[in-house]
Amino acid sequence: MCVAKKILFVVLDGAADRPTVAATTPLKAATTPFFDRLAQDGILGIMDVIAPGTPPGSDTAHLSLLGYPVDKVYTGRGPFEAAGVGIKVRPGDIAFRGNFATVKDGIVVDRRAGRIDDTKSLSDAIREQLDLDCEFLFKESAGHRAVLVLRGEGLSPKITQTDPKHVGPFLYSKPIAKDASARRTAKIVNDFTRQVSLILGNHPVNVERSRSNLLPANAVLLRGVGSVPHLVPFEKRTGLKAAVIAATALVIGIGILTGMTYIPTKGATGHIDSNIDEKVKNVNEALKRHTFVLLNIKGADEAGHDGDFNAKTHFLERVDKALSNLEIDDETLVVITADHTTPISLKEHSGDPVPFLIRGQGVRADQTSVFNEYIAATGGMDRICGRDIMPVLTDLLGKGVKFGA
């Protein structure tokens, strides 16, 4: 029998959940005939993406699923976000995620500035007027998000963030290492914060927002600090020519920093209104030129964070319908999984295992015929760790490395 030659790896971001009072989850409640057909033809299991009981971030989760040793290569989320918005980060750069926010009298009153959705002119003003004691790059991302990159000698990621992550007193950065580079970097970040507040305070966009009873975007909160990591290219690790199809800067950045080809999708938003059909068209084309395609679909995670059971359920049904148009043959291994669990009850990531299925040539199909957290726990793959899935897949491609004589 011939072995499979390529892999389609679908990550349903945050799709897994915990049971409600009715003992169900959005994935179990959803009508998903395409997923169930793959389950019937394939094998299921559950997976601790990082480790049992450890809630993964989407950054560490994707690195783990791609086979990277997270404890050795992960430095912070900032570098991936920066790469994902098009900044060509370099070794030694210090990068941050940023939120345009509303601060009043030293108190963060809204971390997302009323979910502002267009910050280009604000970002232009920051780029034009900011004067820091090092080279910097600042760029807006989707909605209220942005990234900051500091570049030069004598910089360190060993500092605290300025984002309190909740409504409350504004934070200033402090060094967490006793060296001059950490002290200097914290000083630069605090100078950034002070200058941005002055630049944005009377910006015409914020004057108009205040006049319209909208929250002004008068501050930028920084978090996810990290130095740009050294990552062995995915193709060198696996022998697979890879592409990434995603809407979020984070996943795009992970793809770029691991050497994948990024394929943009018109109408892909990272929200529940994302154009999944267009993503599927891009996947079908990408599989003609690549032997590994990473597809991330984000909306279920957003619904989980919002605590909206019905929205999460309906979104998963829409995903299932869209993915039924995938042009996959016997030479393609199809993987469906989640990067983490985002329970409706928590509105945050949890350490619960996620379900996964593998369908394709060489797979020992089990007796399952439905894809959800409950049935996956009875599947033939049992329970594995996230770092194990790529070796399983590459072995199914006939690329496994023999251990021993």
CB 151 within 8 A of CB 125: no
pTM to 2 decimal places: 0.94
Give CATH 3.40.720.10 domain extents, the chain: 6-73+230-396
pLDDT at 184 over 70: yes
User: Rounded mean pLDDT of 36-61?
Assistant: 98
Strand, coil or helix: 43:
strand
Supply the pLDDT for residue 281.
98
The residues facing 57 across adjacent strands are none
CA dist 58 and 252 (Å) reads: 12
pLDDT at 89 over 80: yes
Supply the pLDDT for residue 1.
56
For the ranges 161-170, 258-267, 314-323, the lowest mean pLDDT is seen at 161-170
CB 163 within 8 A of CB 111: yes
Which residues have a Cβ under 8 Å from the Cβ of 64 and sit 6 or more positions away? 49, 50, 56, 70, 385, 386, 387
Where is pLDDT greater, at 271 or 84?
84
Confidence of residue 142 (pLDDT cuts 50, 70, 90): confident
Q: What is the pLDDT of residues 263-285, one digit of tens each?
A: 999 999 888 999 999 999 999 99
Q: What is the pLDDT of residues 194-207, one digit of tens each?
A: 999 999 999 999 99
List of E strands, 246-305:
261-262, 292-297
- In 106-152, alpha helices (H): 120-129
Tell me whether residue 288 is exposed, middle or buried, using C-beta atoms within 10 angstroms of its C-beta: 0 to 12, 13 to 18, 19 or more: exposed
Q: Which fold has domain 6-73+230-396?
A: Alkaline Phosphatase, subunit A (3.40.720)
* Average pLDDT over the chain, rounded to an integer: 96
